[in-house]
Amino acid sequence: MTADERRTGEQLPGKPLPDVVAPDLDVLFCGINPSLLSAARGHHFARPGNRFWPALHLAGLTPRRLAPEEDRELLRHGLGVTNLVHRPTRTAAELTPEELRDGAAALTDLVTRHRPRAVAVLGITAWRPATGSPRAGWGRQDVSIGGAQTWVLPNPSGLNAHFQLPDLARLYAGLRR
């Protein structure tokens, strides 16, 4: 693993949860924003009911189920994680459209700098206002972010009852192709 691959992101002011990012990743996952618990613990998708970690494993993207405390291990598998908005909240519904649009611009900058092959935004209700695409659907998008293939996939939060773990795993597995 190179020094660049070991890099775990910048701890910027106003960014309580550092990005897990390195140059030339296969996939950069982009959550909507950190939960209060994730921000407090300093690890992505830290809520016990969040299905991100089991979905990655069941999708064949990681060889075993990682724990939130192992989020930097994603780099070993060509994966990374960031958030569209870095302000922690109880629910994503607390975010403003302006925060989402600003987050999309910041995500474009991050992707342009690190050049992942694909970006997977986890949450269509954030993607639509962030990009001004009210009719955007699931899956691969016609637009790219910073030159990367862009996907919109279901949010793995336990609050998202529309998708069960097998659904998430099947949809996330599409990123392997």
Catalytic residue among 33, 50, 83, 155: 33
Verify whether residue 83 is a known catalytic residue.
no
Structure tokens at 15: 């960014």
Verify whether residue 162 is a known catalytic residue.
no
Catalytic residue among 43, 44, 86, 114: 44
Structure tokens at 17: 């949860």
> Which three-class secondary structure string do you get for 102-160?
HHHHHHHHHHHHHCCCEEEEECHHHHHHHHCCCCCCCEECCCCECCEEEEEECCCCCCC
Exposure string over 55-72, b if 16+ CB within 10 A, otherwise e: bbbbbebbeeebebeebb
Q: Which residues are catalytic?
A: 33, 44
